[in-house]
Amino acid sequence: MPLRRAAGLGLLTSLLVATGHSAAIPTDPFRLVVEPEIVFIRGIGNTHTVLFTAVGPDGVRLDVSAGTRVAIDDPDVAGTVGPAVFEGYRHGFTKVTATYGRHQVSFPLIVQPKRSRLTDFTTDVAPIFSRHGCNGTNCHGALNGQNGFKLSLFGYDVDADYEAIVRHSGGRRISLNAPEESLLLRKPTLEVAHGGGRLFETGGSEYKTLLDWIRDGAGKDTAGTARLRRMEVYPRETTVLADVGTRQQVVVVGQFSDGSKEGLTRKVRYSTPDDAILDVSPSGVVTAKAVGEGTVLVRTLGHVAALRVAVARPVTDGALQPAPANLVDELVFEKLSKLNLDASGPATDGEFIRRASLDTIGVVPTAEETKEFLANTDADKRARLIDRLLERPEYAEFWAAKWGDLFANSVLTSSDGTAYLQEWLRSAFRANTPYGEFVKEVLTATGSTWEVGAVNFFSRPIEDITTLVAQAFLGVSIECARCHDHPSAKWKREDFLSMTAFFSQLAAKGRRPPPVESIRYIEFDKEFRHPETKQVVRPRFLDGSEPLIRPLQDRREVLAKWITAGDNPWFARATVNRIWNQFMGRPLVDPVDDFRPSNPPSNRRLLERLAKDFVASGYDLHHLMRTILSSRTYQLSSVPRATSRDDETNFSRYYLKRLTAEQLADSIVLITGVPQDYLGYYPGVRAVNLADPGIPSPFLDMFDRPKRDAAKCERSESVSLRQSMHMLVGDTVNAKVRASAESGSLARLLERGMTDSEIIEHLYLASLSRHPDAEELDYCQTALGRADGRSEGLQNILWALLNTNEFLYNH
């Protein structure tokens, strides 16, 4: 083993190129960049933060806002109130010049009048509650509010919040006669007791806004006032902070419905779910706490935006990566370099054939296949293996089963057309049907559940179809919006219902009971009605656009066309993310079916490039899989480097994956040569071909076979006491090992008159896809010596191999 590793390192060294950066500050010459490029201040006395960044030629960024000097051409228009924070003095225009070291950048600054003479509830007042977290889950945004005062969660319902503040509790929160006496001011300033503590100072800018609003009469909104449409958050790309303690200012600019812009940096709320890695202050300063990567969320009034921030491992010598083999490697290694993480060495041939086989066809390679592959000296043998695997019959079976999970294909949730849907999926994967067509065929299927396999996709309640389509094909979770507006994503209940309207024409009739065959057909004038108002709901896409639908047209065709169009914002990305996850063990957007603005990808450019490439290939799944499989990234060893042990998001090594229930069951059958029977199935069926999760098998269940009671394609990888008990004394592996010696593969090896070490060699190749080393052979010989007879000894060795972590994990 030491020898083997030395050889591996030799190969690696020839591929290594130093790509890392070395110091915290970007190497000069760098550019000084200001974001945003034009500064709009709304109203005298308002402030706007900008961001000064030094960007080196290698793309490394450093926030230099604190050390940048600014000169304002017309000091009557604006001045500074902090590093890179400007305050408007009078309406007008001026040029600002910023200097950092010998670098300079100039930009325009414009002070504009406020939108309205009066303080506006939606634009000016309501954001204050979001900013201070008053409407969070553990304060007044809780289900039942807090101490009788309830705000909508994260402020998604401004109308309700207005009512709560102005009218509820007899209007006692607002005093129009003595505005300063209003509870709304006295509570957050702690003039009276407040469980939430002091949120702002009496006389501060937020205090003044609230006071002005109450003085103006505490009105709702001024007609025609522009509304916030979206937030721009700077910096835009994943920011890499060079070291623990490094800071980064976040700048937020709002775009309003009248086209105007306004700085919101001090008006929004910042938070991070990754608070072990990042800290973010109320004014938007992110500080690195530990090496790693996290998300910073920016919220105001039901709007949410996010940025990714990574904290690099500080080094002086730069990180080492192999030379990129394709676009995957370019983008993965680029990020590793920025973070100063070393990629692991290359996987051995044995590791590669085992890994690629398990990931592509769902079963370990046979001893013979492995032996031949190890002996093969062709330079392109890995590429050829990939091509062969994609054409194997097990490929279609394996991926059909994955899509069976995704479509929640089970007798309980769909129908007894389960097996027909499974067979349809197998044929689609076998033919490598372009994925756009694949999805179109599913979405527009009609006919008998026993004849048209794909039609079983629709054997579920109409709202479940909506949830499934959004999740499976678009990677978005809109299930919450089935019942109510989504509080933290942009989905409204209306979005859910409008999407459901695409399936309104579906009709069904039964034919031969029982078991029930059903015929799905289209009734063109059938409408979907709002569950409460009973109004007809018009179909509308999730991006908000409304399609033109001709009379006598199947609405699902229109939906399918929109989903599979090359410019659909989700379809290609979601598919790429799903396939990537299957091979790499971690999705780029995590969880895999949860695309939303507040959940950014770990490597945005990689996701974009792969998606673009997937569209350009005509949605060729083989092409996408080949791109991933032939990357150096996929072919990295799973042995971590010291620098990247903690890396769980950037693919610096191949992440261990516990074999799935079916991979495990089918591999054990293959290795022992003892088939497993499953109730109601032909003898010798492989577990991957069971169409329904209800087919009894405690073994498959304890290794996390999903129930398929909801669309899910991520499985848990549990390790449990139950599994250990079963392995020790249960009747799966014990029985198979015994039967193997009686009539299975072990019996055949014994019949061929092979020596002990030849048999051990074979068992190693069959289970771990490699040769044993001398030490391991020794241990096996010792075990043979201890056992009660040769057969028992070999059974013990086979049992032991099947119980190693090396077997249980794809590595």
Query: Which residues of the shown chain bind another protein in the complex (CB under 8 A)?
Result: 1, 138, 142-144, 273-276, 477, 591, 594, 638-640, 645-646, 648, 656, 658, 698, 702, 707, 709-710, 718-731, 734, 738, 776, 779-780, 783, 786-788, 792, 796-797, 799-801, 803-806, 808-809, 811
Measured from the CB of residue 359, what is the shortest distance to another protein in angstroms?
Answer: 17
Measured from the CB of residue 218, what is the shortest distance to another protein in angstroms?
Answer: 31
Please report the beta strands in 292-415, taking only residues with DSSP state E, as ranges in sequence order: 292-300, 303-311, 320-322
Measured from the CB of residue 693, what is the shortest distance to another protein in angstroms?
Answer: 12
CB 259 within 8 A of CB 115: no
Helix or strand holding residue 143 (H, E): none
Helix or strand holding residue 40 (H, E): strand 39-42
Residue 686: both structure tokens together = 């492989």
Task: Give the C-alpha separation, 161 to 168, whole Å.
Answer: 10
Measured from the CB of residue 797, what is the shortest distance to another protein in angstroms?
Answer: 7
Query: By C-beta, is 35 or 792 nearer to another protein?
Result: 792
Placement of tokens 């090396």 in the chain: 806
**Could you count the other beta carbons within 10 Å of the beta carbon of residue 517?**
18
Measured from the CB of residue 569, what is the shortest distance to another protein in angstroms?
Answer: 20
CB 610 within 8 A of CB 579: no
Residue 340: both structure tokens together = 């100063």
Amino acid in the structure at residue 149 = F
Query: By C-beta, is 144 or 316 nearer to another protein?
Result: 144
**Could you count the other beta carbons within 10 Å of the beta carbon of residue 153?**
19
Measured from the CB of residue 668, what is the shortest distance to another protein in angstroms?
Answer: 15
Instruction: Choose among 485, 436, 435, 479: nearest CA to 461.
Output: 479
Measured from the CB of residue 143, what is the shortest distance to another protein in angstroms?
Answer: 7
Query: By C-beta, is 114 or 289 nearer to another protein?
Result: 289
Query: By C-beta, is 42 or 490 nearer to another protein?
Result: 490
Query: By C-beta, is 527 or 778 nearer to another protein?
Result: 778
Query: By C-beta, is 261 or 653 nearer to another protein?
Result: 653
Query: By C-beta, is 556 or 726 nearer to another protein?
Result: 726
Query: By C-beta, is 222 or 734 nearer to another protein?
Result: 734
Measured from the CB of residue 60, what is the shortest distance to another protein in angstroms?
Answer: 26
Query: By C-beta, is 8 or 640 nearer to another protein?
Result: 640
Class of residue 612 by CB neighbours under 10 A (exposed 0-12, middle 13-18, buried 19+): middle
What percent of the chain is helix, strand and coil (3-state, nearest 5)? Answer: 40, 15, 45
Query: By C-beta, is 479 or 666 nearer to another protein?
Result: 479
CB 87 within 8 A of CB 57: no
Measured from the CB of residue 360, what is the shortest distance to another protein in angstroms?
Answer: 21
What's the number of CA atoms in the CB half-sphere (13 Å) around residue 411?
10
Measured from the CB of residue 637, what is the shortest distance to another protein in angstroms?
Answer: 9
Task: Give the C-alpha separation, 242 to 288, whole Å.
Answer: 9
**Could you count the other beta carbons within 10 Å of the beta carbon of residue 28?**
11
Measured from the CB of residue 403, what is the shortest distance to another protein in angstroms?
Answer: 21
Handedness of CA 637, 639, 640, 646 (dihedral sign): positive
Q: What is the DSSP string of 54-112?
A: EE-TT--EEE-GGG-EEEES-TTTEEEEETTEEEE-SSEEEEEEEEETTEEEEEEEEEE
Query: By C-beta, is 518 or 795 nearer to another protein?
Result: 795
